[in-house]
Amino acid sequence: MVRKIKKIGFYALLLLAALSFLYPFYWMILASLTPEQNIGTLGIVPQGITFEHYTGMIEKIPIWSALFNSVFVATLSTFGVIVFGSMTGYALAKMRFKGRNLLFYTIIFTMTLPFQITLIPNYILMVNFHWVDTLAALVVPSLNSAFAILLFRQAFMTIPDDLIHAAKVDGCGDLRIIFQILWPNIIPSIITVGILTFMTSWNDVLWPLIVIREEGLMTMPQLVTLFAVGGRSEAQLGVKLASAVLLALPIIIAYLFLQKYFIQSMASSGIKS
Amino acid sequence: MANVKFEQVTKSYGKVQAIQPVSFEVKDKEFMVLVGPSGCGKSTLLRMIAGLEDITSGKISIDNTIVNDLSPKDRDISIVFQNYALYPHMTAYDNMAFGLKIRGLKKAEIKEKVMAAAKVLDIEDLLDRKPKAMSGGQRQRIAIGRAIVRNPKVFLFDEPLSNLDAQLRGQMRLEIASLHKRLEATMVYVTHDQVEAMTLGDRIIVLNKGVIQQIDTPQNLYNHPANKFVAGFIGSPTMNFIEGKVVDDNGIASFISNDGVIRIEVKDKIRDLEHTEVILGIRPEHIYSLPTNIDAPVKFTTTVKWTELLGHDGFAFFEINGVQISARLVAEELLNPPFERELYIDREKIHFFDKVSGVAIG
Ligand SMILES: Nc1ncnc2c1ncn2[C@@H]1O[C@H](COP(=O)(O)OP(=O)(O)OP(=O)(O)O)[C@@H](O)[C@H]1O
Ligand SMILES: [Mg+2]
């Protein structure tokens, strides 16, 4: 009996916590569909449904091109990080060469540098490359990441050398070994890297704000931020909320599909020795 | 099919020299076994043949072509590993077909080869399974299948049976032997199990600390070990070693153990070694309880301290020079230790080794 009560209490607590997380989302979505004058008094119950905030948003800002830019940049850098990260990780885990460990520790070290420190040098680099106001400035610098390298290296370390030896004798080169032999055996790591990279890229505001000024090249979060904070919305709360919903939507959809891996990646952070 | 030749090949890992200069030739169609204790460099040597390990100096040739700079895929070899090393995400069929696919063979041709190999190894009903769904023995069959489908010039095996249980190991050993006969292939086989070495090898290379100790047929290694290391390594249980001196024993050149228990007349070269310290080697199976059926029995008396019965026969343990010695005797002789008794050494079966260098004398 006591155990049952304890259990009920526990679940009630969990429910409360879940609701407190979900409520803002619910409210945001609901409010984005509620006429402007009702938003101020909106609680849990819908007070009229309208799509005018969405149509308003589409009229006022180039949201479709921003959506395209975001998808383009996030997809490309995710792809790049998975491909190049696993190549680097493979070299660090399975190839023998002078300075391998030094290289690895240097890469790890860069993870400890805060983004703010490299911001200005990176910007200057973009200027010198004439990449400012091009999507290259968003994509190229994020085609590999220290975190992904670390994660792939750890994953490859757990694969026995003989598997690679067998593949070499069978006629595989290093690239085929990585993509055809090793990849199928580290799928959870790939998905972890993929999700985290995509999210990081998708949510990034600061870097795009610095290197992109042309509206047509802006990413969603950048545009939405400018729109919401920068006053282009003419202080209409509903329109701001509509753009926020659009910003969150892809991540929510991705989460629903990849939930299992997402939790796994958060639980382990992917790092095991 | 082809030969494999090593000429003054060495291998260093940084400052550690894992393989001292080695030279040998594995002849066409020969089954060569590489044995030695753990860490002696067997796998390194095998991987150098495969091209999975660079060599530090020297020349390796396969089929009379120098392969030093050829990558593994161009050496036309295949290799079977101790832990199978099957591709976990592929079925048994795909594991065997993979190398052929990469080499661009047609689908029908691949199928024909895989099915033929599967038939030889009796694994036809496993082809749809992934490695995870197979037992160790089945996996090793698939791995052997993967090696034979390509019909390479040289087969390499790195302790392929040591993850299997004793019974399966015995069975697979026979199968590998018959595979060698059937394929008429050149094979190099690494093992630390000397039963495998003795039963499979046409010839055996005994390796210790990166140095070749002896290359010979199993029988010659057993009967004429080149040094104390080989003598102790080949044969199970291991050879007994008794320290002593060559002296003039009332006008007869004799070996006398340090404690004086063993006195054996010596001949030939050993005679010239008067007053030098030598080591006598005698296998447990060459110490007898009766002098009958021995050409040149040498009697000694000792106290058997304890015994080990293995059914039909067993081992008696006693001490000479304070060192434990074993003799293989029939079970009836081994009851109720300790006891005192006379034992006989066959003088024709003894070996002598230099006490310092361990090199065989005579
Ligand atoms: N990658 C490496 N780096 C440094 N030393 C190595 C490396 N690989 C092997 N060695 C050393 O070379 C020696 C020979 O190793 P090898 O693996 O060939 O031994 P082995 O005879 O196959 O032993 P085992 O029976 O245990 O498999 C060992 O002393 C080992 O420590
Ligand atoms: Mg080994």
Of B200, B218, B233, at which residue does a domain stop? B233
Q: What tens digit of pLDDT does each residue of B342-362 get? A: 999 998 899 999 999 999 987
How many domains would you assign to chain B?
2
Q: What tens digit of pLDDT does each residue of A36-54 get? A: 888 888 888 888 888 888 9
Q: Which residues of A214-226 are buried (b: 16+ CB within 10 A; e: fewer)?
A: eeebbbbbbbbbb
A38: Cβ–Cβ under 8 A, 6 or more apart, which residues?
Answer: A47, A48
Higher-confidence position of B139 and A188: B139
Per-domain residue ranges for chain A?
51-268
Structure-token pair, residue A3: 């155990």
Here the CATH number for the domain that contains residue B349 is: 2.40.50.140
Q: What is the pLDDT of residue A263?
A: 72
| pLDDT higher than 70, residue A94 | yes
Nearest to B27 by CA among B197, B215, B207: B215
Task: For residues B111 and B117, give the distance between their C-alpha atoms in angstroms, rounded to a whole number.
Answer: 10
Q: Are B189 and B144 in contact (CB under 8 A)?
A: no
Work out the percent of chain A whose per-residue pLDDT is above 90.
Answer: 55
Task: For residues B96 and B87, give the distance between their C-alpha atoms in angstroms, rounded to a whole number.
Answer: 10
Q: How confident is the model at residue A232 (pLDDT cuts 50, 70, 90)?
A: low
Q: What is the pLDDT of residue A267?
A: 63
Q: Same domain for B187 and B251? A: no
| Residue to mutate, B12, B42, B45, ligand 1, most ligand atoms under 8 Å from C-beta | B42
Bridge partners (DSSP) of residue B22 are: B9
Task: For residues A166 and B77, give the distance between their C-alpha atoms in angstroms, rounded to a whole number.
Answer: 11
**Which of the residue ranges A71-85, A113-127, B334-348 has the most confident prediction, judged by mean pLDDT?**
A71-85
Nearest to A156 by CA among A166, A164, A167: A164
Q: Same domain for B206 and B61? A: yes
What's the mean pLDDT when you consider all of chain A?
89
| pLDDT higher than 80, residue A59 | yes
Provide the whole-model pTM: 0.86
Residue of B82, B83, B102 lying closest to A171 (CB–CB) = B102
Taking phi over 0 as left and psi of -120 to 50 as alpha, with beta for the rest, B159 belongs to left
Residue of B73, B83, B86 lying closest to A169 (CB–CB) = B73
Nearest to A133 by CA among A200, A218, A76: A218
Q: What is the pLDDT of residue B305?
A: 94
- Tell how far the Cα of B63 is from the centroid of ligand 1, in angstroms: 27
Instruction: Note if the bond before B338 is cis, omega within 30 degrees.
Output: yes
Of B201, B233, B265, at which residue does a domain stop? B233
| pLDDT higher than 90, residue A121 | yes
Q: What is the pLDDT of residue A265?
A: 61
Residues in chain B where the model's pLDDT stays below 70: 1, 269
Q: Same domain for B99 and B120? A: yes
| Residue to mutate, B12, B13, B45, ligand 1, most ligand atoms under 8 Å from C-beta | B13
Outline where chain B has alpha helix (H): 42-50, 92-102, 107-121, 136-149, 166-183, 194-200, 218-223, 228-233, 268-271
Q: What is the pLDDT of residue A273?
A: 34
Q: Which of B11, B44, B52, B155 to substitute to test the interface with A, most A CBs within 10 Å? A: B52
CATH for A51-268 is: 1.10.3720.10
Count of CB atoms within 10 A of residue B261's CB? 17
Residue nearest to atom 24 of ligand 1 (CA): B38
Residue nearest to atom 17 of ligand 1 (CA): B43
Q: Same domain for B218 and B245? A: no
CB-CB neighbors (< 8 A) of A170 in chain B = 73, 98-99, 102, 146
Q: How confident is the model at residue A233 (pLDDT cuts 50, 70, 90)?
A: low
Q: Same domain for B222 and B158? A: yes
Of B175, B201, B233, at which residue does a domain stop? B233
Q: What is the pLDDT of residue A244?
A: 85
Please check whether residue B10 touches A, CB under 8 A: no
| pLDDT higher than 60, residue A269 | no
Q: Give one DSSP letter per residue of B191-232, joined into a string.
A: ES-HHHHHHH-SEEEEEETTEEEEEE-HHHHHHS-SBHHHHH
Are residues B98 and A160, on separate chains, in Cβ contact within 8 Å? no
Bridge partners (DSSP) of residue B343 are: B300
Q: Same domain for B22 and B125? A: yes
Q: What is the pLDDT of residue B268?
A: 72
Q: What is the pLDDT of residue B1?
A: 59
Task: For residues A221 and A240, give the distance between their C-alpha atoms in angstroms, rounded to a whole number.
Answer: 12
Q: Same domain for B192 and B263? A: no
> Is B321 a member of any domain?
yes
Q: Same domain for B244 and B224? A: no
Dihedral, CA atoms, A21, A22, A25, A29, nearest 10 degrees? -170
- Tell how far the Cα of B72 is from the centroid of ligand 2, in angstroms: 18
Are residues B146 and A166, on separate chains, in Cβ contact within 8 Å? yes
Q: Same domain for B185 and B266? A: no
Higher-confidence position of B319 and A262: B319
Q: What tens digit of pLDDT does each residue of A208-222 get? A: 999 999 989 999 989
User: What residue numbers bound the domain in which B31 lies?
Assistant: 4-233
In Å, how far from its chain's centre is CA A111? 17
Least confident of A80-84, A243-247, B282-286, B304-308: A243-247
